[in-house]
Structure 1
């Protein structure tokens, strides 16, 4: 049976039928689905993953056709208002504020609902929790938020459409450099489709307008030029990735064996200088305190879709009798730093594939220990996994949809049984891959 599934190829007519059903499902997801309707979200998402599996593994369509198909699926979302996330309202707020000459790091939407055109509507859309703290998005991300305001600082649909076009272009850049990295590593270029036509990427990045896609575009270009020995250009692009989302900072130590101490120091200085220059237009006395207060609030007060953290929290309840998130939030960074340094110094990261594998373990360790893991975060490990022998992030990109069960009611109460099922499947597949790799290694000795 397994052999039959591996060798089975769909006819072109059947492939076209799968494409048609995929288009219908994406349309329903984009325009006819609310996140409160979890059964519909789960059903459509699962159906799209089945279609994705068939197209990737069993279609006779050529590589270019599947790439064009990925573009087509993205275009289906073009004029949709995001329905699974309200973060884009804050993105638009920050962008319109900056477009009107207002420093977004110095204002609270809660205290200034009418400071910009339709500001009160954007504040209502983002919610009081999002609007009651200072923005935590780095400067290049702020400039990206401003692009929609250039075309319209009042019309919601025009703004979201422009925003979506920039993110589609980001995915095309990731496609371009992803293929180049796969060729550099002598891997099958078809693997990029695991990212480019994955329903998770289409829905979370193109559909819900999350800027992980733009960050990954910078990161992919940076890695390619690092492998081509163009270190200064790589550093500038890496700085761009950090200035979209701060999370790539965690990867810097992993470059130690690839670059050596002296070159890594220069690389880090370029990254720091670029980010300082990008922050300069926003410089003020309150910038640092406001920015860091939001970062600290985020890590020490919010909980969502966590794995190992929830186990530690439960132990804390039993021992202390209360939620220990603040003390865990202060301890976790030291654990992550230790894991990162061990992976940086003990592994052969001078080898390209080993380096990316170490990056994958670093980011996954971070997310496994975090108190908050939003679905779109998985885009980074999914992208990195393309260049390794591991595919558990693909499984994660599917089962992460279970976290949306929290939005069934207005209290956003998580169904911990479903969260538990998500991570049982992720860790189960991860350990199965590790065991299989270890078994094959012993077999070949």
Structure 2
């Protein structure tokens, strides 16, 4: 019987390697039904590997790395953002400030400030090339590292990016396991993130830098659990300096400091110092790029996500259709301003009216605070789900795992040229996600478990 189980494990690993190879080297983004087949097949083998009683922790670590290495020499096939990453990195290497210029300006003037400028601009697309970069300083450092090692080869830069992301995921594995041990949770939970096909494909495969952000975030949460809050603040600032999204979490640390300390005054004093270190570190990291135009360019670029972009939205799609019904045109300019306000109100409510004193309660609050923002946002790209996914590892909620499975339905938009969403696919995605979320909340409520 033991031999049969080991044989089944080996077969699952072989099938996964085969399907990852097909995904990496023989798939186009427009081949939606082929994409769906590979995606759901990989999730099936992933689930069976996680649930296997005979496969060891170290073996799961090994195959997690092997699955990522399959993508090492593959050009991303589901995203073109990496062309802008390469552009920004090479601009810094040549002494330019990437926050102050538009790629399209150079191309329109027939200038080539960096190697392969035309190829990079064509790859990133006109929409990306016509906006100022919105990638924070540590993300830019990753771009610079790739430019340093491969200043004239797109393929070489892609390999450097992938190695950085694989190392970041290994770091998440290391500190995530240690945090699970501290919280007395099963260490195998970390594989819901590390071995997840969504993470392997969207991050290592398609070069989204959420793993670098999450590496600093998980390391920071681990240090916070050790009561080393100054180091934690620096690490969380580094996380924000990769992607801005952890800024949403800052209010939720209130109870961790104020209610867990001996006196309100001492806890509040630590909280203010915690915030000051985070904000100060972020400012310090931006200083090398400082210019009078920086704040305006950067804020305009970030603002586009609220004013212009629409993709894979849940409640926003519903609000938009209601707006069309009553006003006859897209209400994104109004709704895009309201949803951040709703998110702030929700964060205030769970900051002051929900128990967030223990680390599991805190991480659960981070999870729901972020998911509320994504549920009301105008744009939810698939790779955004990486953050809810890693947070869920440390809670009793597993709906982000279901979301990581169903988010692939958003790629149906690329069946059309130019791309166009079929809202029935979006509806199906969120129907399943919300259905599972309601089921989990109901289960927690019925068992009267406060987490």
Q: CA deviation at 1:184?
A: 1.0
After superposition, the C-alpha distances for 1:168-188 in whole angstroms (9 at most, x for unaligned) are: 000000001101111111000
* Structure 2 residue aligned with 1:413: 420
Distance in 2 between the 1:9 and 1:239 partners? 49
Distance in 1 between the 2:135 and 2:269 partners? 30
Q: SS of 1:110's equivalent? A: helix
* Structure 2 residue aligned with 1:387: 394
Q: SS of 2:104's equivalent? A: coil
Q: CA deviation at 1:263?
A: 1.2
CA contact under 8 A between 1:90 and 1:126: conserved in structure 2? yes
Equivalent position to 1:50, from 32, 44, 51: 44
* Structure 2 residue aligned with 1:70: 64
Q: CA deviation at 1:59?
A: 4.8
Q: SS of 1:306's equivalent? A: coil
* Structure 2 residue aligned with 1:244: 242
Distance in 2 between the 1:441 and 1:234 partners? 32
TM-score in terms of structure 2 length: 0.95
Distance in 2 between the 1:184 and 1:115 partners? 50
Structure 2: runs of 5+ lacking an equivalent: 259-267
- The within-5 A match list for 1:168-317 is 168-260=166-258, 261-317=268-324
Q: Structure 1 segments of 4 or more deviating over 6 A? A: none
Q: How many residues align?
A: 436
* Structure 1 residue aligned with 2:102: 108
Q: SS of 1:336's equivalent? A: helix
Distance in 2 between the 1:405 and 1:357 partners? 31
Equivalent position to 1:323, from 283, 306, 330: 330
Equivalent position to 2:121, from 113, 120, 123: 123
Distance in 1 between the 2:220 and 2:10 partners? 37
* Structure 2 residue aligned with 1:82: 76
Q: SS of 1:111's equivalent? A: helix
Q: 1:203 to 1:10 in 2, by over 3 A?
A: farther
Distance in 2 between the 1:439 and 1:24 partners? 43
CA contact under 8 A between 1:36 and 1:407: conserved in structure 2? yes
Distance in 2 between the 1:62 and 1:271 partners? 39
After superposition, the C-alpha distances for 1:337-365 in whole angstroms (9 at most, x for unaligned) are: 01001111112212110000000000000
CA contact under 8 A between 2:234 and 2:278: conserved in structure 1? yes
CA contact under 8 A between 1:10 and 1:58: conserved in structure 2? no
CA contact under 8 A between 1:9 and 1:58: conserved in structure 2? no
Equivalent position to 1:428, from 419, 427, 435: 435
CA contact under 8 A between 2:168 and 2:212: conserved in structure 1? yes
* Structure 2 residue aligned with 1:4: none
Is 224-233 or 291-300 further displaced after alignment?
Answer: 291-300
Q: SS of 1:134's equivalent? A: coil
TM-score in terms of structure 1 length: 0.96
Distance in 1 between the 2:193 and 2:57 partners? 13
CA contact under 8 A between 2:305 and 2:378: conserved in structure 1? no
CA contact under 8 A between 1:135 and 1:294: conserved in structure 2? yes
After superposition, the C-alpha distances for 1:168-210 in whole angstroms (9 at most, x for unaligned) are: 0000000011011111110000000111100000001110010
CA contact under 8 A between 1:306 and 1:371: conserved in structure 2? yes
Structure 1: runs of 5+ lacking an equivalent: 1-7
Equivalent position to 2:34, from 7, 31, 40: 40
